[in-house]
Amino acid sequence: MQFPQQRGGAIVACAKDGQSGTDTYRQQRTDSCILLLNPTSGQQDAIADLMDYLPNGFKLNIIDSPSSPTPIFYLALKGGNYDVGSFNSPTSTGIQQITTVGFQPVLVMLATQGQAASNSIGSGAEIAFGAATSPTEKGFIWFEDPDNQRPSDNAMEIGADRIIQWRNRTLSNSFAVRGSADFVSFLSNGFKLQWSNVESQAKQIIYVAFGGNNYELDLEAQ
C-alpha cells in the first residue's frame, strides 16, 4: 500500500520448494507498494511504486518488472482519511507516540518483519501484523519460518491482547518475545503505543491509519 509523495510500504516473504532444508527469504521497504521475490532463487522479481492517482484509477512506476505475468489484487477506497508511513520501535520500554498521521485515526494497522530499516533481501521469512480500533478491540498475528533448518521449525502466534508482537524462535519449544506493544489510544494526529518488550536495536514498523468512518475489529475462532 502506498500514497503519493513516497509514503508507502511493502512486505514480502517466501520459501523455496523442494529443498532438503528450509531456504527462506524476506524483504521490507518503504519506497514501494509492491514487492515480489522469485520463489525459485529467492532473488528480486518485482518492485513497483505508486506515481499518482487518476480520475478512474492509479498509476504505477514499474521499477523491476516480474519475470512472468503476475496477478496483483488491489483495494481502492473513496472518501475518508488515510495515511501510510513507518516508524522505528523504541529501544526502551514505555510509551511511544506516533504523530505523523495528520488526522485522528479510528483504525490503525501495523506490520513488520522485526528488522532494522533496510531495502535488502534477508534470509528467514517472518511477518508480524496487527490492528486496533480501541484499547479493547485489537489483535495481532506473527509467523516465522527460519532459514537453513533441517527439519523445518516454523512457528506462529495469534492473540487479542496486543497490537503487535514478534518472537525469537529456534529449535526449542521455548521462544522469547523480542518486541511487543499494546495499543493505548488515538491522538489528534496519530496514535499511542505502550511497549513492554523491546530490542537493543530499533526495528522498522509500517503503519496504515484510517479516519473519517467507523470500523470494527474482531477476533473469531473458526
Q: What is the pLDDT of residues 181-208, one digit of tens each?
A: 999 999 999 999 999 999 999 999 999 9
Contact 205, 88 (CB under 8 A): yes
**Cell output for 220:** 473469531
Does 114 fall in a domain?
yes
Tell me which residue range forms the domain holding 35. 2-66+80-211
Residue 75 lies in a domain: no
Q: How many helices (H) and strands (E) does the chain have?
A: 0, 18
Query: For residue 191, is it within any domain?
Result: yes
Say if 140 falls within a structural domain: yes
Question: How many structural domains is the chain composed of?
Answer: 1
Residue position matching grid coordinates 496504515: 208
Average pLDDT over every residue of 34-42:
89
Q: Does residue 5 surpass a pLDDT of 60?
A: no
Query: Per the domain annotation, does 103 fall within a domain?
Result: yes
Q: If you search the block for the grid coordinates 521462544, which residue do you land on?
A: 175
Give the number of other Cβ atoms within 10 Å of residue 81's Cβ: 15
Interior CA angle at 44 toward 42 and 45, to 5°?
100
In a domain, 217, yes or no: no
Q: What is the pLDDT of residues 107-139, one digit of tens each?
A: 999 999 999 999 999 888 889 999 999 999 999
